[in-house]
Amino acid sequence: MNNITNNTSDIIMYTTNWCSDCYRAKWFFDNYGINYEEVQLENNPDAIEKVLHLNKGMRSVPTIVFPDGSVLVEPSNNELASKVGVTL
């Protein structure tokens, strides 16, 4: 779970253990059977650096990196659904 590169076809989701939007995004993916790899920022300086880089210095979570290289930050369920092809 601490790998911060996307060497598989899975979605990489950067999270913290205190973020309600992270829990919601994880629920969404779990509920719709979408594979993802969770990378927690706590005690993970490499993951923090990656999130800061992706978000122009902001430590925004969840930061979700998709296999095509696109990134969603703090997305709504509608944005997630649109990205992964789920009909709500």
DSSP, collapsed to helix, strand or coil, labels residue 63 as: strand
- More confident: 6 or 76: 76
- Domain definitions of the chain by residue range: 11-76
Residue 4 is predicted with a pLDDT of 41
- More confident: 54 or 7: 54
Phi-psi region of 13 (alpha: psi -120 to 50; beta: other; left: phi over 0): beta
Q: Domain 11-76 classified CATH 3.40.30.10?
A: yes
Question: What gap in Å lies between CA 19 and CA 10, rounded to an integer?
Answer: 21
Q: Is 2's pLDDT higher than 50?
A: no
Residue 9 is predicted with a pLDDT of 63
Per-residue model confidence as pLDDT tens digits over 10-58: 899 999 999 999 999 999 999 999 999 999 999 999 999 999 999 999 9
Residue 7 is predicted with a pLDDT of 42
